[in-house]
Amino acid sequence: MDPAIERPRHFWSNSPSSASSVQAVAGQVAVFHSSFDAVGGAAHVSLDGLISQAAVRPVLWDVAVRRFASPSYHGTNRHQLVARMDSARRAYAKAFVAIQKSVKDVDAAAILSHSSESDVAQLALELFDQPTSTADDKGRVSQFIDLIHHYHGVFDVLSQAGDFGYLPVIWGGVKLLLMFAKNKRELLSKVTDMLIEIGWSLSRIEVYAALFPTARMVELISMLYAAVADFLQDVVLHFAHKSTVRKVLSSFVRPFEERFGRAMDRISRLVRCIESDALALHALQTRSMAQRQMVDAALHHHHVQATLSSLPLPPHPLGPRSPSTPSPSNIFPDLFHQIRHLLFHNFPSQATYHESLAATYSVTARAWEKWFAVEQRYLPSSAVAAVSLDDPDRNGNKDNNNNRSTVGKARLSHGLCDAPDYQHALQWAAQQRRLTPHIPSAYLIWAQGMTVHTALASLIFQVLQQRPGVVAEHNLDMDTFKRAASSVKRLWDLFVYLMKVLGGSLIYISIGSAGPDEFALVEKFVNTVRNWEGPPIWVTLIHPYHDGFVGMEEATDLDGLYDVHPSLCVTDALHHVLMLELDIHQVDSTIQTVLWEAVWRETRYASVGVSLTLVVDAIQRSAEELSRQQQELRHEARGPVLGDTERELWVAAVQEWINDPVASNELRELVQRHLDIVDLALPHDIRAAINRHLKRLVLVRIDEDKASSFASRSMTQIQRSRVWERMKEAIRPAAEVMFCGTILDVVADTLDSYATMPCQTEGQAGLVVMKLMNERFGRDGTWNLSMSLDEQLMVQGIMRAIIAGFEDTLDALSEPEGVEEGSDYI
């Protein structure tokens, strides 16, 4: 036992030493914290609840731990270790004195003091290397020589730990034994077999001593040394007897095997004891390693979580960018590159889609701030303004708008727009980063050809970028993301799990196309909000009008509430594609498709306003011209005629009908829905034709100096308006053919009916004209049925407008900077 450790008292002892070394825990077993404790004595560590205090252990168990685990050598307590070798010291002295007194034929003291391993080996070879030696004898000596180094390996531990050498007595005893038995071949073989057996045992003890260099191991080796030394002493004294008769009688009364077999049994028992101790030490070491691994794992987990949580947020999606601005791929560790690779498996081109799109849109972002504010007025999606939807406003009225659906803690802002402004998604992301950075947010700009898988993967990865610590906190390993990416269902489950464990989230989804994947994504989010059980979430959905989308009956028609002026949205889209052609932004084919689709979609949608304006102008012009013609018919006395008063009432009533919100919305809806014959997606042949023309423009008009300046330039409002005016001129011819071909006839028929109903007042005229115009310009009216169904009219008109727009955009960006900024139009 280590002298530094007081012999353990019973844990019920009342002595002061017991009270100081044993900690009694109320209602539990007394605890004795040992130096072998994996957590580190009595000072147990706690990492935010991850590491709990080690299990309570009884005192006797803990004392046993210290008994087995006390280190063998600490430098300053060598004298304490020597005290554990009393058995070896006594056996050494006893054997030395006894053999020296009994052996007179040789200098026993010199042999016991100076013999070595090589001396023993040399003597064994000489004894068995005789002509009369058999093959068994030679094999026996060979085996003996191979094993004697284990004697040195084990007992040298005592020499290293003690204050003198213990091995010479062992080598001297073996040497004397072989010398005395050299003429007794049978006894020599028996003695050698015993030494070989001891060597085999010591071979294992040597390993245990190296694996477990504890004070108890030194003590046990000391006892084993004493047993071997006693065995050698007894055998040497047996051979040292002078009387041959006494030797014969002794051998007859107690045969050699029986006389020295008990000594061998003692050695075997000590060997088994050491082996049992080694097993106990191994068990304790395994337990300690398991505890340390648990603590190390917890510390590593805590470190990884703290490191990930301290990572900076990705760069502002619309913030200023320079060559020194780090990209998200440079901020996050390789772990997130692996996660992104797994999430976008088989879709690598879309892995950085939103980052590249934000870099492209940032050039013209400032012009969209006021328009995003307009969208928020009709379709709010900011958690800052998320006071309870049932709270009354300043006038005491409750907000009953149907553009926000609330189910429990889930909110849905659902908008309809044939040409969603993708810039608003970036404005939304910037707003959330500025106003609610503590709430995870993610946006999705749907690209033509995108799938539900890549859409969900993008939302998940954006959330992970903002809350990287969740990966470590919730043990989201690579297998988690690999399994999630194996199916859309599992990907959705992971997305929902993140929304719940992060305490909610804000989602903004802008879709500019219609298809099965788009329908499925919208339906999933709408149903999720309706059935949500969890922390607050706010989902914003904006997509075109189409019967395939669910929830449209509760959605807000953004097209009917406001329009971003085409001079901004169309020229913005042209600018982005122009930068693409000039190779200012290197993006993949997915984003190239998005930018080209935006040019087509915005121009197509702007053609609705152009066409509606032509229709209204045609109706007004026809009403005035036809009324003048009616007055001329009065002089010829043919049919019903209009007097000056009737004509004025007619013109005013038609103007009133045009200004009526219901009638104007119906007229716009008819124009917009009829233009559905023009595909929302950009036809491949049209894109190829426009692209060829654009490449020729760039080749002829742009040099390297001009191209480099386009990366940071944005057009002024005056320049935008000039570009748009020329594009309108390119669209008008096709719009006139498609919508205005029969307007004169329809208005004439209306006027004829009006002339048969004399009206004396403005009120009478207004009611009559309202009824007549609604019948002819309504959904089932003559005009709607007479519109041209040749979609190529508008397709070619839009293509000519886009080509003209590229030409003027190039000219505008090539102008010297400093042109006065005009005010935007709302």
pLDDT digits 0-9 by tens, 362-371: 777 788 888 8
Tokens at 361, concatenated: 């849109």
pLDDT recorded at residue 386: 45
pLDDT reading at 261 higher than 70: yes
User: How far is the C-alpha of 453 from the C-alpha of 450, rounded, in Å?
Assistant: 8
How many angstroms separate the CA atoms of 348 and 351, rounded? Answer: 5
Q: How far apart are CA 707 and CA 715, in angstroms?
A: 14
Beta bridge partners of 735: none
Tokens for 129?
């290397």
Determine the pLDDT at residue 131: 67
Q: E strands of 488-573, at which residues?
A: 505-510, 537-543, 556-557
Between CA 614 and CA 605 the distance in angstroms is 15
666 vs 81, more confident = 666
pLDDT for res 745: 92
- Rounded Cα distance, 377 and 413, in Å: 12
Sign of CA dihedral 733, 739, 745, 748: negative
Given a cut of 50, whether residue 388 has pLDDT beyond it is no
What does the alpha-carbon distance between residue 751 and residue 534 come to, in Å, rounded to a whole number?
62
The mean pLDDT of 46-67, rounded to a whole number, is: 42
Pairing state between β 410-416 and 537-543: parallel
Per residue in 308-359, pLDDT (tens digit) is 666 666 655 565 555 455 555 555 567 888 888 889 888 877 777 777 777 7
CA distance 253 to 604: 122
Is residue 625 pLDDT above 60, yes or no?
yes
Choose from 151-160, 229-238, 308-317, 397-406 the range with maximum mean pLDDT: 229-238
pLDDT digits (tens, 9 = 90+) for 163-197: 667 888 888 888 888 887 776 777 777 888 888 88
Task: Please report which confidence band the pLDDT of residue 391 belongs to, taking 50, 70 and 90 as the band edges.
Answer: very low
**Residue 1: Cβ within 10 Å count:** 16
Task: Tell me which long-range contacts 178-185 makes (C-beta under 8 A, separation of at least 24).
Answer: 178/120, 178/123, 178/124, 178/127, 179/106, 179/123, 180/236, 180/239, 180/240, 181/239, 182/127, 185/132, 185/137
Task: For tokens 């018919």, name the residue.
Answer: 633
Local confidence band at 613 (pLDDT 50, 70, 90 cut-offs): very high
Q: In this structure, are residues 372 and 495 in contact, taking their beta carbons and an 8 Å threshold?
A: no
Confidence band for 401, pLDDT divided at 50, 70 and 90: very low
Q: Coil, helix or strand for 729?
A: helix
SS3 for 124-168 is HHHHHCCCCCCHHHHHHHHHHHHHHHHHHHHHHHHHHHCCCCCHH
pLDDT tens readout for residues 757-801: 878 888 888 899 899 999 999 888 899 999 999 999 999 999 999
pLDDT given at position 632? 64
Find the mean pLDDT for residues 222-231.
86
Q: Decide which of 5 and 501 is more confident.
A: 501
**23-27, 39-43, 550-554: which is most confident:** 550-554
- What would the pLDDT profile of 103-131 be if each residue is shown by its tens digit? 877 888 888 888 888 888 888 887 777 76
- Confirm if 400 and 350 have CB atoms less than 8 A apart: no
Most confident of 140-149, 307-316, 398-407, 792-801: 792-801
Distance CA 587, CA 580 (A): 8
- Please report the pLDDT score of residue 447 as a whole number: 80
491 vs 627, higher pLDDT:
491
Cα–Cα distance for residue pair 539/442, rounded to 1 Å: 10
3-state secondary structure 413-466: EEEECCCCCHHHHHHHHHHHHHHCCCCCEEEEECCCCCCHHHHHHHHHHHHHHH
Q: Predicted confidence band at 54 (pLDDT cuts at 50, 70, 90)?
A: very low
Lowest-pLDDT choice from 125-139, 264-278, 656-670: 125-139
In a 3-state reduction of DSSP, which class is residue 648?
helix
Q: How confident is the model at residue 250 (pLDDT cuts 50, 70, 90)?
A: low
In 3D, which of 638, 665, 635, 640 has the Cα closest to residue 650? 640
Cβ atoms of 413 and 380 closer than 8 Å? yes
Are the CB atoms for 536 and 504 separated by under 8 Å?
yes
**Average per-residue pLDDT for the chain:** 77
pLDDT of residue 115: 85
Question: What is the distance between the alpha carbons of residues 483 and 480, in angstroms, rounded to a whole number?
Answer: 5
Query: Is the distance from CB of 366 to CB of 715 less than 8 angstroms?
Result: no
Query: Looking at residue 85, what DSSP letter applies?
Result: G
Q: In the chain, pLDDT over 70 holds for what percent of residues?
A: 74
Residue 412: predicted pLDDT: 93
Name the residue ranges covered by the structural domains of the chain. 1-70, 78-294, 328-385+400-563, 576-814
Confidence check: pLDDT of 498 > 90: yes
In order, the DSSP letters of 496-539 are HHHHHHTT-EEEEEE--S-SHHHHHHHHHHHHHHHT--SS-EEE
CA distance 440 to 419: 27
Q: How far is CA 500 from the centre of its chain?
A: 16
Secondary element (H or E) of residue 618: helix 589-636
- Asked whether 233 and 280 are in contact (CB, 8 A), the reply is no
Radius of gyration of the chain (CA): 49
Q: Nearest-CA neighbor of 291 among 55, 68, 28?
A: 55
Q: Taking the chain, what is the end-to-end CA distance rounded to the nearest angstrom?
A: 92
Is the confidence at residue 248, as pLDDT, over 60?
Answer: no
Q: Which of 7, 110, 20 is nearest to 60 (CA)?
A: 7
Kind and range of the H or E run holding 691: helix 684-701
Q: CA separation (Å) from 582 to 345, 362, 707?
A: 31, 17, 7
Rounded CA separation 663/375 (Å): 24
Place 640 in a pLDDT band, splitting at 50, 70 and 90. Answer: low
Structure confidence at residue 383 as a pLDDT band (50, 70, 90): low
What is the H or E stretch that residue 411 is in? strand 410-416
- What gap in Å lies between CA 586 and CA 161, rounded to an integer? 72
* Residue 172 half-sphere exposure toward CB, CA atoms < 13 A: 26
What average pLDDT does this structure show over 391-412?
51
Q: How many CB atoms lie within 10 A of CB 48?
A: 9
Task: Tell how many helices (H) and how many strands (E) occur in the chain.
Answer: 34, 6
The pLDDT value given to residue 70: 55
Q: What Å distances lie between residue 779 and 672, 673, 766, 782, CA to CA? A: 12, 10, 20, 9
Q: What is the pTM of this model?
A: 0.59
pLDDT at 209 over 50: yes
Count of CB atoms situated within 10 Å of the CB of 769: 26
3-state SS, residue 391: coil
* φ and ψ of 23, to 5 deg: -100, 120
- So what's the pLDDT on residue 3? 37
Q: Distance between CA 751 and CA 642 in Å, rounded? A: 10
Q: Which residues pair with 489 in a beta bridge?
A: none
Q: What is the mean pLDDT of residues 394-401?
A: 39
Tokens of 39: 């957590």
Q: How big is the chain, counted in residues?
A: 826
Q: Report the distance separating Cα 244 and Cα 84, nearest Å.
A: 41
**Which of the two residues, 119 and 821, has the higher pLDDT score?**
119
Provide the residue type at 161 as one letter: A
Asked if the model's pLDDT at residue 276 lies above 80, the reply is yes
Q: Which ranges of 181-255 would DSSP assign to H, the alpha helix?
A: 185-211, 215-239, 244-253
Q: Is pLDDT of 16 > 70? A: no
Taking the C-alpha atoms of residue 236 and residue 180, their distance in angstroms, rounded to an integer, is: 8
- The Cα 288–Cα 212 span in angstroms is 14
Residue whose structure tokens are 């430098």: 75
User: Could you report the per-residue pLDDT of 675-721, keeping only the tens digit for each?
Assistant: 999 988 899 999 999 999 999 988 888 776 666 667 667 788 899 99
